[in-house]
Amino acid sequence: MIYFDNSATTCPDEGVLTSFIEVNKRFFANPASIHLAGKQAETLLEKSREQILSILGAPDGDLVFTSGGTEANNLSVIGFARAFRSRGNHIITTEIEHPSVLNAMEYLETQGFVVDYLTVDEQGLISVEELKSKLRPETIVVSIMHVNNEIGTIQPIAECARIIKEHSRALFHSDTVQSFGKLPVSLKGDGPDAVTISAHKINGLKGSGILAFRRGIPPQALNFGGGQERGLRSGTVAVADAVALAKAMRISMVDEEQKEFRQWRNRLIDFIAPYDDVVILAPDQAAPHIVSIAFYRVKGEVAINFFQENGITVSTSSACSSKSTTAGHVIEAIGLAEKYKNGVIRISFGKNNIEQHVVEFEQVFARFMALLGRGND
């Protein structure tokens, strides 16, 4: 099977799996315990925290280990909004964020917060001028994803950070789940104040992630109990998950900005472009590992099933909404023509792919288009 759904989840790295198993065998004690075994587990946990913060260029920063990107985004959006409510009640985000951000924003609106949603153009790109115009004295949080999970658009995060810091006191959070390991992600300098990362997007394990942030600006806790993770996330910390995540992040840094991904993306775009009745959702500023296309009056599920029958796994535009029969919110936001909306599929590369996989995709794609009676004149 050729697996081209790496934006949904990746195959765990063997080294990550080995680390996870070894830590569970040797350092299984509760890191909050005061006996030797507990202290050893705690030492390993804190070493993992230090390694991750160093990777993010923020050795003096802080982070919370979470169950994944969704919890990290919830903790960031809701936790920071609550933490800074004394400053104001205004929040800014975009209309193409992951549901874990958008749904959290909807919840905050029921709690008296005012949320502005930045629009995007046909490439999924926000306007920094609109961002600037939306900032108010009472703006307390801005959340803008780095790379869109459905079409791969890269937002101008550095410029956004500059504008936010020049014109407000708002905390700037970025969902970097789709960008870490493919593009530079950092908390240092003029970057975001907080970022979220999910392990299973970078050949780590499902059920593990982080919210990392600059020291001195912690979010308000969303759950309560024993006060673990500096009181920000109560519950026994999964030391093996933390070690495995640090390992996955170290490995991903080595592979950052893989040239092969961009070459494959460009190759697929050039191959598909001549075909009739196919729209390539290829932003000018896009991550190297994502290519999305839309078929004219053909459901994405039909295409997915055809590719699967021919040994290739692709997905609809987002795994989070893949079972929905309606177009996703990102596809609606970019204004894709109605006749293409339900025909979107996403191809996303990972470290286990090789160029031959791209060649075989092209062959299957050509057969599918021939079956539909659509040429490439």
Q: Tell me whether residue 143 is exposed, middle or buried, using C-beta atoms within 10 angstroms of its C-beta: 0 to 12, 13 to 18, 19 or more.
A: buried
Asked whether residue 341 falls in the same domain as residue 244, the answer is: no
The domain that holds 82 is classified in CATH as 3.40.640.10
Range of the domain at 166: 14-254
Number of domains in the chain: 2
In a domain, 377, yes or no: no
Q: What is the mean pLDDT of residues 203-229?
A: 95
- Quick one: what percent of the chain has pLDDT higher than 90? 91
Residue finishing a domain among 254, 276, 307: 254
Asked whether residue 47 falls in the same domain as residue 136, the answer is: yes
3-class state of residue 295 by DSSP: strand
Whether the predicted pLDDT of 50 surpasses 60:
yes
CB 141 within 8 A of CB 175: no
In a domain, 329, yes or no: yes
Q: Tell me whether residue 371 is exposed, middle or buried, using C-beta atoms within 10 angstroms of its C-beta: 0 to 12, 13 to 18, 19 or more.
A: exposed
In a domain, 80, yes or no: yes
Residue finishing a domain among 237, 254, 271: 254
Residue finishing a domain among 225, 254, 283: 254
Asked whether residue 277 falls in the same domain as residue 240, the answer is: no
- What pLDDT, in 10s, does the model give residues 312-371? 999 986 555 545 556 789 999 999 999 999 999 999 999 999 999 999 999 999 999 999
Angle between helices 355-372 and 300-309 (to 10 degrees): 120
Beta bridge partners of 211: 64, 196
Buried b (16+ CB within 10 A) or exposed e, 199-213: bbbbbbbeebbbbbb
Distance between CA atoms of 226 and 260, rounded to whole angstroms? 46
* Predicted pLDDT of residue 207: 97
The domain that holds 272 is classified in CATH as 3.90.1150.10
Nearby residues of 47 by Cβ (< 8 Å), 6 or more positions away: none
Distance between CA atoms of 5 and 1, rounded to whole angstroms? 12
In a domain, 216, yes or no: yes
Asked whether residue 231 falls in the same domain as residue 358, the answer is: no
Instruction: Return the ∠ at Cα 131 (arms to 95 and 165), rounded to 5°.
Output: 125
Asked whether residue 212 falls in the same domain as residue 320, the answer is: no
Please give the positions annotated as active site.
Answer: 320
Distance between CA atoms of 142 and 171, rounded to whole angstroms? 6
In a domain, 349, yes or no: yes
Asked whether residue 212 falls in the same domain as residue 278, the answer is: no
Instruction: Return the ∠ at Cα 358 (arms to 352 and 363), rounded to 5°.
Output: 140
* Predicted pLDDT of residue 324: 55
Asked whether residue 304 falls in the same domain as residue 230, the answer is: no
Beta-sheet pairing, 278-281 with 290-295: antiparallel
Q: Which two tokens stand for residue 112?
A: 């008296």
Model pTM above 0.85: yes
In a domain, 196, yes or no: yes
Report the chain's terminal Cα–Cα distance, integer Å.
30
* Predicted pLDDT of residue 7: 97
Task: Using CA atoms of 210, 214, 220, 224 in order, give the dihedral in degrees to the nearest 10.
Answer: 50
- What pLDDT, in 10s, does the model give residues 250-308? 999 866 557 899 999 999 999 999 999 999 998 999 999 999 999 999 999 999 999 99
Residues making up the chain, counted from first to last:
377
- What pLDDT, in 10s, does the model give residues 151-165? 999 999 999 999 999
Asked whether residue 222 falls in the same domain as residue 271, the answer is: no
Instruction: Return the ∠ at Cα 105 (arms to 206 and 90), rounded to 5°.
Output: 135
Asked whether residue 276 falls in the same domain as residue 368, the answer is: yes
Asked whether residue 269 falls in the same domain as residue 313, the answer is: yes
In a domain, 241, yes or no: yes
* Predicted pLDDT of residue 374: 77
Asked whether residue 247 falls in the same domain as residue 315, the answer is: no
Asked whether residue 306 falls in the same domain as residue 362, the answer is: yes
In a domain, 208, yes or no: yes
